[in-house]
Amino acid sequence: MFGDNFHDNQRKSRLFKKGDLKYVILDMVKDCPSHGYDITTVLEERFHGLYSPSAGSIYPILQFLESENFVTSCRKDGKNVYTITDEGKRFLKEEKATTDKIKERFRSLWGSADKEYLQDVRAILNYTSEMRHIIGKIAVSKDNSKVTAIRKIMAKASADIKAISEEDSLK
């Protein structure tokens, strides 16, 4: 049902499971006809800045939804405004269990008012981004000793983080 490019875009976002974002976007459009920038802004607000979708992830999904006749678009003030169709409403109704699971997974984050917690999560994400940048620079230098040292550090950090994430499942 979905093309390879659609799934490739979905894999880039670790926050969402494969294909989830189409349900979230369609559900948003159901509540209020929107253009891509509106959707991006609302998602960023809902996730308190922890997730900021790119146009490269939003517009292909909107195009897919339109190709499936789940939404229609019309030009308004130089922008495509997407509106859910009866077919889109029917799809959401049929997939209610799926959309409910997605909403439940994000409900605590969307409703979070714990600013300190959100700042900590943002800091972790910033470290991750910074590490990718630094590792990229070192990879280009082709310094085997640095790459080996970083691989060992990252393996240890990964194991430690995995152990922390699994603590709840052991209780």
Q: What is the pLDDT of residues 110-135, one digit of tens each?
A: 655 666 776 777 777 778 778 888 88
Report d(CA 16, CA 7) in Å as an integer. 12
Report d(CA 151, CA 148) in Å as an integer. 5
If you ran DSSP here, which 8-state letter would residue 34 be given? B
Q: For the chain, what are the domain ranges? A: 4-112, 117-170
Residues paired with residue 76 on neighbouring β-strands, in sequence order: 79
Using only C-alpha atoms, the chain has a radius of gyration, in whole angstroms, of 19
CATH of 4-112, picked from 1.10.10.10, 3.40.50.720, 1.20.1090.10, 1.10.30.50, is: 1.10.10.10
Q: What is the pLDDT of residues 13-68, one digit of tens each?
A: 455 667 788 998 999 899 889 888 888 888 877 776 667 778 888 999 999 999 99
0.75 exceeded by pTM = no
